[in-house]
Structure 1
Amino acid sequence: MLENYVPTIVEGFVSTRFDSLQSEFLDELSENPLDNVELLQDQLDFCPQLCRFKYESCSSYIMKVMEPLLQMYMEWASVQPCRDNKELSLTEAKLAWLVHIIAAILKTKQISGYSGEHELLDAELSACIFQLINVTDNGTHRQRYGETSKQRLDCAIIIFLQNFKKSYIGDQAMHSSTQLFDRLSTLVGLHDHLQVLNAVTGKIATNLKSYTQCKEVIDQTISLFMELTSGYMTGKLLLKLDTVKFITSHHNKEHFPFLEEQTCFRSRTTFYYTIGSLIFLEDSLLKFKSSMEPLLQVFISLESTPDAIFRSDVVKYALIGLMRDLRGITMATDGRKTYGFLFDWLYPARTPLLLKAMSHWFDVPEVTTPLLKFMAELVLNKSQRLTFDSSSPNGILLFREVSKLIVAYGSRILPVADPADVYKSKYKGIWISLTILSRALSGNYVNFGVFELYGDRALVDALDVALKMILVIPLAEILAYPKFAGSYFAFLEVLFDNHLTFIMNLDTNTFMHIVGSLDSGLKSLNESISSQCASAVDQLASFYFLNITMGELPTSPAALNLVQCINDCPGLFPQILKSLFELIIFEDCGNRWSLSRPMLSLILINEEMFTSVKGHIVASYPLDQQQHLSQCFDKLMEDITRSLEQNNRDRFTQNLNRFKNGLRVV
């Protein structure tokens, strides 16, 4: 039986890992398995599946190996200076392997959901790690944060704490696992969830204070911190801890030096998202303002910086960090009240700095990208958090700030000659700007009619600059970058849906370019883009059918201009209809419903156009298949009336599905 060999397999695995450490230390150029956490976890996936058959003997063996190493490591903490740095590094490497193995074994709880004796054994193993945590940051070990072996050990400890959290700390485990905590109380004095959380957050705070340049340890630590705050009950418990109170009120570079390290800038957003999640759990304006004090001091410092030295590196890195931090805080606002805290804190006192930063740093993507991404998060109406009172002008005021920022960026970046890395330097900022506008235009918190009514050019200026930015870039370049293409077509969908008059007022060449790009987008392999283009085409074709084909003679300037554009481009609608039919016929589209909407609108505009497209497609088939294909086309329009009512649209979609099924016998 396999289970009889489990202890031997585990012993063999541990011994081979230890033996390999000697050669790895001798060959400094060889890759250490401990450096690739994802690959390491894949290698250790066998542990929970295998060890559960002989859990007691496996855990006993691991503790037998662990205890002398732990004792030796504790003794080294009091030696000044360390008597044998190489031997200490080897010990840390062995401990790291054992911690990773114990972390993997804890997954057994998640797989089988056991309790009783197995839970007690988990407590024995976990107690060893908590003892290790108590000593890793004491004595001599405080001087070793720059050592690779120490970093690997701390990464292993964080992985263990992540797995321990999933099994024993999450909201689902709050009222279970009493045997484990009773045993931990006896072994290491951790009596309940709160004390365990205190030990875990203590390690988190120590890592964030002590490591300044090891991105791996910092990222893993912040990830654990974020996971702890994700549960409501766990988050509430965290707020009781002094360590967490310190973090949420002293999150500055003086206490957490990694915030000043450029290689860790990306980590700041997650760190502040976690801090924001904790702040907003208390739902207190006073707590929010006090917690934002460190960021307020950065704002005040930047606002008082003279224009003459605003392009200095000190300002540059302060802006990058501040924008990443604010984006994290904004991501954490998940409701109307918490968003209101942040908006009132930012507007109007703090927003002028954003415009000043964009005006001075428009050509530096390291600054503009985090600034634009922060604004993209600020205008995103997720969970209906941007729901202002009916008498509040905040939605309009927010869009005016958006318009100023987009105009400031677009008007300055367009004249800049294309650099070697044009995507990073120009395209990325443009597609984020389009994302900002798309979210603001579709967020349903701005009455855009107010701008025209009162002669405010905020909307017109923003759309004009956006149009100039997309027209200056060849469509092939846009399609070459997936994120750019996604943002571009999402923007067009919003324009055609909510601001069709703006499109209809374009000159013929620009109109042709925009609508022609929708034809290219329909053929995209990305079904989301294809559906967005279909929606945009349907909005245009539906307007044409209802107001021009079936309506009286158009009188509005926009409608007259649309008629002129279509007359100047007679092949535009037929080409799009042909593309739609080719997609249905030759591709297995998962978004057939979306494609059916513009097809009906285009067919009803001009039945002769439909007849011509049908004849062209039928003629492209072999002679022996043309009659059957023609019959399929005839059935497509059965019971379809000259109407865009919902029931008529649904009937056409059903006919289109039968049309597609009928083609399979051709």
Structure 2
Amino acid sequence: MGPVAGCLVENASRSDLKSVAHQPDVIYMVCCLLERLRGAARATQPRTQKVLFEMGHTVMNSLLTLLEVYKNQSEVIYMILKFVVDFIDGQAVFLDGKETSVLMSFCLRLLQIYSSHNIGKVMLSLSSTLRSESQSEKYKDLRALLRLLTNICSKDLVGFLSDSNIEGSPDIAEVIYVGLDIVTPLISLDLLKYPKLSRDYFVLMSHLLEVYPEKVAHLNRDAFGRITGSLEFGLRNQDGDVVERCLTAVNALASYHFKERLGGRGGLGSQVMESEGSNGKLQESISSHFLRLLLQLLLFEDFRMELAGSAADALLPLLFCEQELYQRLVHELLEKEQNPTVKSRLALAFHNLTSSNNLSSTLDRPNRQKFRKNLRVFLGEVSGFMQIK
């Protein structure tokens, strides 16, 4: 792949690049070179990793140059992003701290250039015109960007860089933060109706909130609201994988909030969500909002029983954070029940949900397993008279 990388570097270094770059034959050649490099990146194996990393390192500056030059050519942008996605995916498990540092510096610069030219600006404005999955392929560079951030957020990279003591090492969280700043304004609920992009987005959100919940927690209100709003949308998705990813994300968010509060810190206290209440719109905490939403889904909507384990993991930290609200919601539900027999069974089921199996106020694995059992028993018990399938 040396000659291919050399050819790409040579073309990116041309003094007349800006004047010839948009000629069809030049665009075609650049795309072909990127496709060949991508093929090599996807074939990464232990014995070829070092050579392929050097290949990638050789073309990094050239890729940034091409990103600048082809900022209005979505085809080339897509090929650059796809190469970087596959390069990181193939390299992640092999990199040492120094190599990871080099890669993160490159990714940060790439995202900054992408952001500075607002390359994805058309996506949000045109999302409402999409009518089919094939049309949504126009936005495949956004999908590639989502996958890039997911790969950066992988535990392999996070583990290596967090364990290294290299002076000047870039913070992966900083790279993720820049990426989030680009992605969240581009993701509309219209776009999330398209399965491929939706799955990529929620994979990123679940990974991100598991690894860097504090970064999301400190986003500005608008950016945070877009993420939590998308999670609410995803929890009602027809795709079980998307719902499971959203439950994982809510679990991570609620667990972070609970642990922060346990340590005497604010957690998500500064973030609020707007909900529809009996007296109109009301503002409530994130944990309150998602507790209401999960109970609504579990009790009154078409909830998939195979997702009970993931739902239990998300519900447990929410219960710990909002015990008073939970008791009030249960009381209101019982008060509305007119049938004494049903009311008694429901009261017992709610009691056992939080007290059976010696459940404690911790989020360790054994306690989560106990609550999973409790929730499955609860759902089985109330399925006869609630809207559970």
Contact 2:85 2:147 in 1 (8 A): yes
Deviations 1:552-580 (A, max 9, x none): x32xxxxx473222599525323312322
Deviation at 1:654? 0.3
Structure 1 counterpart of 2:106, from 401, 407, 431: 401
Give yes or no for the alignment of 1:462 onto 2:175: yes
Structure 2 counterpart of 1:482, from 187, 195, 203: 195
Distance in 1 of aligned mates of 2:166 and 2:325: 40
Deviation at 1:604? 1.0
Give yes or no for the alignment of 1:352 onto 2:352: no
Change (3 A) 1:644 1:443: closer
Give yes or no for the alignment of 1:613 onto 2:329: yes
Deviation at 1:467? 2.5
Give yes or no for the alignment of 1:629 onto 2:346: yes
Deviation at 1:591? 2.2
The DSSP-based 3-state class of the residue aligned with 1:362 is coil
Distance in 1 of aligned mates of 2:212 and 2:228: 14
Distance in 2 of aligned mates of 1:464 and 1:388: 22
In the TM superposition, 1:237-248 aligns within 5 A as none
Give yes or no for the alignment of 1:318 onto 2:34: no
Structure 2 counterpart of 1:438, from 138, 150, 167: 150
Structure 2 counterpart of 1:572, from 286, 306, 310: 286
Contact 2:49 2:94 in 1 (8 A): no
Structure 1 counterpart of 2:310, from 584, 594, 613: 594
The match for 1:527 is: 240
Cα RMSD of the aligned pairs, angstroms, is 3.1
The DSSP-based 3-state class of the residue aligned with 2:260 is helix
Which amino acid is the alignment partner of residue 444 of structure 1? D
Distance in 1 of aligned mates of 2:28 and 2:83: 15
Change (3 A) 1:601 1:461: closer
Q: How many residues align?
A: 362
Q: What is the TM-score with the length of structure 2 in the denominator?
A: 0.82
Change (3 A) 1:459 1:588: closer
Contact 1:365 1:424 in 2 (8 A): no
Change (3 A) 1:580 1:562: closer
Greater displacement, 477-486 / 465-474 = 465-474
Which amino acid is the alignment partner of residue 203 of structure 2? A
Deviation at 1:543? 2.2
In the TM superposition, 1:161-200 aligns within 5 A as none
Deviations 1:539-558 (A, max 9, x none): 2212222231x33x32xxxx
Contact 2:38 2:82 in 1 (8 A): yes
Deviation at 1:655? 0.8
In the TM superposition, 1:509-528 aligns within 5 A as 509-528=222-241
Contact 2:143 2:200 in 1 (8 A): yes
Deviation at 1:505? 1.6
- Percent identical among aligned pairs is 22
Q: What is the TM-score with the length of structure 1 in the denominator?
A: 0.50
Contact 1:535 1:598 in 2 (8 A): yes
Distance in 2 of aligned mates of 1:386 and 1:567: 38
The match for 2:12 is: 303
Distance in 1 of aligned mates of 2:192 and 2:48: 38
The match for 1:563 is: 269
Contact 1:577 1:599 in 2 (8 A): yes
Which amino acid is the alignment partner of residue 563 of structure 1? G
Contact 1:404 1:458 in 2 (8 A): no
Deviation at 1:434? 1.7
In the TM superposition, 1:95-494 aligns within 5 A as 292-296=1-5, 298-306=7-15, 307-308=17-18, 309-333=20-44, 335-347=45-57, 349-381=58-90, 386-389=93-96, 392-414=97-119, 416-417=121-122, 427-446=139-158, 447-448=160-161, 459=172, 462-473=175-186, 475-494=188-207
Structure 1 counterpart of 2:371, from 642, 652, 657: 652
Distance in 2 of aligned mates of 1:622 and 1:474: 44
The DSSP-based 3-state class of the residue aligned with 1:388 is coil
Contact 2:56 2:87 in 1 (8 A): no
Contact 1:574 1:613 in 2 (8 A): no
Distance in 2 of aligned mates of 1:443 and 1:313: 40
Change (3 A) 1:294 1:567: closer
The DSSP-based 3-state class of the residue aligned with 2:48 is helix
Deviation at 1:490? 1.7
The DSSP-based 3-state class of the residue aligned with 2:237 is coil
Change (3 A) 1:508 1:346: closer
Deviations 1:9-66 (A, max 9, x none): xxxxxxxxxxxxxxxxxxxxxxxxxxxxxxxxxxxxxxxxxxxxxxxxxxxxxxxxxx
Contact 2:312 2:371 in 1 (8 A): yes
Deviation at 1:397? 0.8
Greater Rg over alpha carbons, structure: 1
Distance in 2 of aligned mates of 1:459 and 1:300: 27
Greater displacement, 480-489 / 578-587 = 578-587
Distance in 2 of aligned mates of 1:619 and 1:324: 64
Change (3 A) 1:650 1:442: same
Distance in 1 of aligned mates of 2:318 and 2:49: 43
Change (3 A) 1:320 1:567: closer
Change (3 A) 1:434 1:444: same
Deviation at 1:433? 0.8
Deviations 1:358-415 (A, max 9, x none): 111122121111221111111115xx863234xx500121122122222222331357
Deviations 1:507-543 (A, max 9, x none): 3343233223222222222222222222222222122
Deviations 1:325-360 (A, max 9, x none): 122222222x3332222112231x222111111111
Change (3 A) 1:416 1:470: closer
Deviations 1:221-266 (A, max 9, x none): xxxxxxxxxxxxxxxxxxxxxxxxxxxxxxxxxxxxxxxxxxxxxx
Deviation at 1:416? 4.4
Distance in 2 of aligned mates of 1:452 and 1:518: 36
Deviations 1:131-181 (A, max 9, x none): xxxxxxxxxxxxxxxxxxxxxxxxxxxxxxxxxxxxxxxxxxxxxxxxxxx
The DSSP-based 3-state class of the residue aligned with 1:380 is helix
Contact 2:12 2:65 in 1 (8 A): no
Structure 2 counterpart of 1:583, from 256, 278, 297: 297
Deviations 1:73-104 (A, max 9, x none): xxxxxxxxxxxxxxxxxxxxxxxxxxxxxxxx
Distance in 1 of aligned mates of 2:140 and 2:335: 44
Give 5+ residue unaligned stretches, structure 1: 1-291, 555-559
Change (3 A) 1:661 1:460: closer
